[in-house]
Each structure stands twice: as structure tokens, then as C-alpha cells.
Chains A and B, each alone.
Chain A
Amino acid sequence: MVEVLNVSSLSKSFGAIKVADDLSFQLELGECLGVIGPNGAGKSTLLNLIVGLIRPDSGRIILDGSDITGLRPHLRARRGIGRAFQIPQPFPHLTVYENVLAAATFAGGMHEDAAAEAAIEVLQLTALFAKAELLAGGLPLIDRKRLEFAKALASQPRLILLDEIAAGLTEPEVARLTEVIGGVKAGYAMIWIEHIPHALRAVADRILVLDFGRKVLEGAPGEVMDSPAVRRIYMGFAADDVA
């Protein structure tokens, strides 16, 4: 068992709103942690804390045994964190290929031919290969989502963070994406925020439920999804209504 990520007692408030409330969890290599919770629960904020875009008020983040809590974001990326943003963040005036090449070069620490090869491999995996030479700014939403995933993969990460990359996809597209994620999963520690229960059930090893920045539940996917607490908090209706 190789522990990749260890988050302990992480807290963060924006003014009066607590967006992370004493969060602790661990993640091992080859493991996928699904994260669910209502909108505004603090899911994306948790990723922002892990990548360093937001500083926590308290708590520690350990990556591969070393404390990265004070590290600047680009250094965390180089240490092996690849992130797919919920709202895609492409480099609009660069081509799709250049977008992915940048990730392979700077976060992945690869150069010249090695970086080019890694970029192409990732483009094929994410079905963006045919669009390699198009400007990223002109891509439709679905391809922007794919590009987020591609950049995260090209970063040669240890830890990969996916934020609602299946949202807005059609059912067959979700199936294909789920298959791809399942296929590469063994090589990474992964956090996948998604609202699609069957996709998470298929890939995630554990699921963490967030509400108001607090961990409500953490456990096996079936167990968590079927729990009354999740039905009440996450699905937005009382358990009694279901029963």
C-alpha cells in the first residue's frame, strides 16, 4: 500500500461561510475517491486547497510523504498533481496539442520528443487527436472537458483531480469516459467529483460525502449511495419520502 495523499484537519472559511470544516482523509496509489455533495458544499474548494490556489486556515496536506501545505501551485503541479477544472480552463490561443504539450513540459518535466510523444499519447486516449491542431479557444464544451482531462493526464501526475468532467456529456460519452478513467486508474491516486451515481459506482473505491464543507459520510460506493443520509442531503428529499 502506497499512500499518495494525506489530508488532515483541513479547514477554510470565506468570511462567515465554512467551505472546509476539519476535513481528513487518505488516498492510496490506484485508489479512486469519489466526492459528492450538493452545489456549494465545498467540493471544488477542496481541490483548490489541494492544488494550492487557496490557502487553508488550518490543517496539513501531505503528498507522497512530504508536506506541501505551504508550496506554491506550480511546484505542487510539478510534484505530481494534475487537475481537470470544473469550468474548463484552456489556453485559448494555443492549439489543443500545445495545451497538452505545456502540461507535459512544465508539470511533467519532459522535453522535446519525450514531451511530444506523451502529449500525443494523451490526445489519443482522450479522443482529441483529430483536433490536435485546432485552437483550444474554439472547442465545444465537450472537447474542452476532454482537454481538461488530457492536461491533467499529460502532467504525469501521481494524484489526479477530476471536477465534474462528465457533466453535460451524453450517456454513451459518459460510458466511454468512465471506461477510460477505469482503464488508467491503477497508475494514479484519484479524486473524482461527479454527480452521476452509476459512473462513480463503476470506478470509485470509496465515496466521500460533503455538505457545508464537512465530511458527512465516507465509505464503499453502494453503502454510501444507498444511505438515508445521502438521500436526504444530496438528493434533496427526505428519506421518509422514499420509504
Chain B
Amino acid sequence: MHLRLVSGVVASILLSAGAPFVLGDGALRLWTEALLILTMAQMWNLLAGYAGLVSFGHQVFVAAGAYALFLAAEALNVSPYWVLPLAPLAAAFLAALVALPLFRLRDAYFSIGIWVFSEIVATLVTKSSLTGATAGLPLKTSSLMDLDWFEPTLFWIASVLALAATAGLLLLMRSEFGLGIMSVRDNDVAAMSVGVDVQRNRLIVFVISAAGCGAAGAVNFLSNLYLSPASAFDVSWVVNMMFIVVIGGIGTLEGPIIGTLLFFALREIVTGQLGLSGGWYLVALGSVAVGTMLWSPRGLWPALSARWGLRFMSVERKAPRLALQDKPNND
């Protein structure tokens, strides 16, 4: 198991190290975007698929990371790369702050509650001159970065984030903490009845999920060199995360990868190859979503893995083999 994980990680690192030397500029930018969206999708998946909390407001953490990066780079007058670690911290801090009131809300009320929270933060940011109001913020210290290596560097950072999100989730879910968090998702009353600290587990997962989105959001806007509240708090961030996770397979680690590939393949085919407008792209997304839900309500990956017996990143714990064979079954 660990050998496979390590070889998977090593192969991914080698692939992404070499990619910028092979891919063209356009392709590199596309892959960077895809890896960042994959990171966000995995973070949304962690919360919804493994902890049972469906968020409609994750764009607030994307924005928190981006604003932290832009404001800190300007205030400290350093290269944006140096203050990148502040982005996940800012998003995590915001999540920890709002968790207490939000967790008092159940199910759909939580989903709506976090969306309302995001809208409130967006309004404050749009009104405040500190954050550039509606005009947004330019990346003041962009000249401190080596622009020759700008695109490859962003690609590498995006690769690290996507890899860390996926491998990190795999390790997390295979750990004792993962067992606890999945029990909370399945039945919180039963979870507390077997000794799981439900609130603490939810808080940790919520903060991690926010931090990952903050990091990916910051890198995304770093690549634009410009940040506007309309795009940072755009609800399509969370809509895309949801589409990718739900279509690919919620509560699986492979699902969001498949979902991301499909999401970008569709976009390239519809708006690129076919030369249709963005409206048709949305129609295509919707049709694929409906089709998938009819064929396999739990998403593509569970259906595919069941059909071909594929398991790459299973988090299921096996009862010790020897014991299973040696001990008699007294049923």
C-alpha cells in the first residue's frame, strides 16, 4: 500500500517537473488552472464527501486566500511567492472564526448559512477602500518575480497543491482521524455514542478544507496579477467544485480527478474545437450532469470502479487477513 502511494507521488512529481519543458504556454496555463480547481474540488470533497457538510460558500475561502496574498505582498513589499503561505492561514483563520455559529446550523441551513456568510464578506470587501473596493487590487510587487519562469513556477506550485491535497486526503482518511470523520459523516449521533468528538472533528476538517481553497485561490489570482471582488467571490467557484466532485464521485479520491478532466475537456471541446459560446458550455455541463446522475447517482468513479473492479485510492480498512482465515466462523 505504502509502496504504491510513494511510487504514485514520485511519478507525479517527475511528470510535473518535466511538463513545463514539453507543454506550450497555452497548455501549461490550462493545466495550472485544472490543478488548482482539482485542489479546490478535493477540499470541497473533504468537507462534503467525508465530513457530510455541503458548503455553498467556499468562494469566501478562495477570496480570503487571494486577498491575503495581494494585501500582504503590498504591505511587506516582498515577492508574492514569499507571502503565499499566508493565504491558507488567512482562509483557515476565517473558517475557524465562523465555524462556531455555522455549526449550529444543520444540513441545508449550513449550506445556505455559509453562502450568506460569503455574501456578507463580499459586500464588506467591495465597500472597503482597504481592499480596493469594487475596483479590486493590482499585484503591486509583481516586478519582484522572475517573469521568465512565471508560468512554469505557477504550474509547479499548482502541482504541489493538487498532489498534497490528494495524497494528504488519502493519508488523512486512512488514519484513525479519518475513521472518526467518516463516522461523523455517516451518523453523528452514533459517532458521539462511540466516543468521537463530533464538533472537534468537523472543525478540523472545515479549517483544512478552507486552507486548501485559500492556497489554490491565491495562486489562481497570482497568475492573473489582478484581483477583483466580483471574480474572487464569484459563486461559480463553488459551483465548479460541486460539479466536479458530484459528477466524478463524492466521497472518493479518484472522483474529483475524473470530474476535473471531464470539466476541462468539455470546456475545451465546446468553446475551443466547436467554437461555441460560453452559454453552450453551460448547457453541455448541465447535460453531462443530468446524464451522469441518471446513469450513476453517486458519480462516475463508483460506477467505473464497480464495473472494472478498479481501486487506486481506497480508504477502506481491511480486517487483518490472517485472523480472517484462521479463526472459525461461528455464524
11 additional A-B residue pairs with CB within 8 Å, beyond A53-B189, A103-B195, A124-B330: A74-B193, A92-B186, A94-B182, A97-B318, A102-B183, A106-B183, A107-B194, A116-B320, A120-B327, A129-B331, A155-B195
Would you give the 0/1 interface string for B266-310, flagging 1 where the beta carbon is closer than 8 Å to chain A?
A: 000000000000000000000000000000000000000000000
Is B176 in contact with chain A by the CB < 8 A criterion? yes
Q: In the assembly, what is the distance between CA of A98 and CA of B320, in Å?
A: 12
27 contacts between A and B (CB under 8 A): A74-B191, A74-B196, A74-B197, A77-B195, A78-B195, A83-B193, A89-B193, A90-B190, A91-B187, A91-B191, A92-B186, A94-B182, A94-B183, A101-B179, A103-B194, A103-B195, A105-B176, A105-B179, A106-B183, A117-B320, A117-B323, A119-B319, A120-B324, A128-B331, A129-B327, A129-B329, A151-B194
| Interface residue ranges of A139-187 to B (CB < 8 Å) | 151, 155
CA distance A67 to B321 in the complex (A): 42
Which B residues contact A (CB, under 8 angstroms)?
176, 179-180, 182-183, 185-187, 189-198, 251, 316-320, 323-324, 327, 329-331
Shortest distance from the beta carbon of A219 to any chain B beta carbon, whole Å: 30
Contact B330 A129 (CB under 8 A): yes
A72 partner, pick from B176, B192, B317, B327, beta carbons under 8 A: B192
**Cα distance A117–B323 when bound, in Å?**
8
Residue of B nearest to A93 (CB): B186
A73 touches B190 (CB 8 A): no
Q: Would you call B186 and A94 a contact (CB within 8 A)?
A: yes
Inside 8 A of B186's CB, which chain A residues have their CB? Answer: 90-94
Cβ-closest chain B residue relative to A97: B319
* A106 B317 Cβ-Cβ under 8 A: no
**Nearest opposing residue in chain A for B52, CB measure:** A93
Report B-chain residues with C-beta under 8 Å of the C-beta of A119.
Answer: 319
Q: Would you call A51 an interface residue if the criterion is a C-beta within 8 Å of the partner chain's C-beta atoms?
A: yes
Contact A77 B317 (CB under 8 A): no
Instruction: Name which residue of chain A comes closest to B190, CB basis.
Output: A89
A208 CA to B323 CA, complexed, in Å: 41
CB distance B183 to A91 under 8 Å?
Answer: yes
Given A93-B182, A94-B182, A102-B183, the answer on whether A155 and B316 have CB atoms closer than 8 Å is no
Flag if A77 contacts B192 (CB, 8 Å): yes
Within 8 Å of chain B (Cβ to Cβ): is A49?
Answer: no
**CB-CB under 8 A for A77 and B319, given A101-B179, A105-B179, A130-B331:** no
